[in-house]
Structure 1
Amino acid sequence: MDHTSRIARSRADKVFDLCNYTLLSVILLIVLYPLYFIVISSFSEPTAVNSGSVTFFPKGFTLEGYRIILQNNDVWRGYANTILYTILNVALSLAIMIPGGYALSRKELVGRNFIMMLLVFTMFFSGGMIPTYMIVKNLGMIDTIWALFVPTAASAYNVIVVRTFFQSSLPEEMLESAKVDGCSMFRFFFKMAVPLSAPIIAVMALFTAVSQWNSFFSALIYLQSSDLYPLQLILRSILISSQMSANGADAIVDPESIVEAQRYAELIKYALIMVASVPVLALYPFLQRFFVKGMMIGSVKG
């Protein structure tokens, strides 16, 4: 009887596992196919892309879309600007969020519950775009690089996640032992807390870098000089320009030129997505281990 029940359970488990793997495989295909389609479309002939004949494999392999984009000097300037803005934003955000989260994790901080209430309040209510613009303008940051990341340098959600990480990773006994040995609070933070917080630092750096890399709305509002445009805003301008050319909305009057522009409009669009996404995709594998660990700590213990 026991042997039969064990066989029955084993078969049921196999069926259950098969159903799980099948469902997860379907979900994986649904998620990955749009990304795969963008990749193969960016390498396919414009005619095949526009006709909808590109489904699983590139048709008429070509690098024309990438050539058109990468020959544009504005794209390289946008890359340099975005890399600079991302580095500065990550450095400033970590300099604010890591000490802030650590301070809020200490029970001896007077008024920490009130500060946490204010942080949570800002997650639900904000001044809005117009008051924010007026503050940035009054601070003299319009048409400067500082307007792109100083107003959003610290995220309330990220500070809460950092605080949760320190609460769950740094036991009180460690701080008490350090105090007995004559270690000050500042020395404990820099010598012990920061080295042990590599996972959450990696997570916050990745969050901030991806957000800054994909940001274009702040630049659209605050920047006036095209020399300061980040990559996303330049790619947006290229995409709008190509679509206008395809629709004959610019100075093009030659029908053959309009047809040619229409052929390459979709190809340029997919190539733009790849140009903007590849750096972030290349960075993620190096931070994946820290990213998963830090996110699990923040979600389970929060």
Structure 2
Amino acid sequence: MQGVLNGFTTIGVVIAVGALLAHLRIVDLGAQQVLSRIAFFVASPALMVITLSRADVHQVLSANLVASVAGITVAAGTYIVLARTLWHRSLGDTTIGALSAAYVNAGNLGIPVASYVLGNAAFVAPTLLLQLLVLQPLALGFLDADAHGRSRWWQLLTRPFRNPLTVGSLVGVVLSVTGWTLPTVAAAPLGLLGDMAVPCMLVAYGIALRLGPGLGRAGSAAELACTSTLKLFVQPVVAWFVASVLLGVEGHALLAIVVTSALPTAQNIFVHATRYHRATVLARDTILITTVGAVPVILLVAAVLG
């Protein structure tokens, strides 16, 4: 359990640094925008190249993937139905809300949790690749379409592949599948740039927490409760049901699937929300609630299934 606590503590400390810098007026919301842009356009794509080039993409074809898809689909789908019929949200706001309800922190939190709690970082690879190669490009396509108005079908299909995060992900997958290794002259600067991604995201998030509207003050409390409940409870329960009842997964493999699904909403959803100016407060608040709430949830899952 120490690995879970260490992972959450590390994230919390870096977020607190961003909030402290804002509180001391060393930085302002302009700095938060700059950090988010650096993370979106430079650091995160570099991180994706390095991370995916080292991943085993063949692990995507597993029970882990099937259960992960089911959990994401039910959580995101439930929010989409409610957002469009009950809250009447726009396409962009609905997309960010769906990501908040279903997109897990498989990178900077999932990897250490998988390493220390599950004993193998590879357990998070299927979810990581699914999100980077399918869910994220699809969501970014919708966000781009919402930001730029109506587009022709070919523009909608090709726009995600002009997004730096998608390009970085695809390059990483090609390197993994082919076994090619980047020369040091390329790998070293990419690794250095990629190392900025998580700190930039977390510090920017801390600034927004301190200088933005208070928790729940700039949005629907019911909507926030919905995204948080879907992420913390519905998604892992659906993943458990599919893996255990339908696919017959048992033991440590089942624990890995449920723990991965119970991870909190990823910080990069806040980066996307900021970049496209859609549902920023909802993303921020959901990340905060699920990051805090995931600690007891994952500890409970580990106690029951471990």
Q: TM exceeds 0.5?
A: no
Question: TM-score, with normalisation over the residues of structure 2?
Answer: 0.24
Larger Cα-atom Rg: 1
Structure possessing the higher relative contact order (Cα contacts under 8 Å, 6 or more residues apart): 2
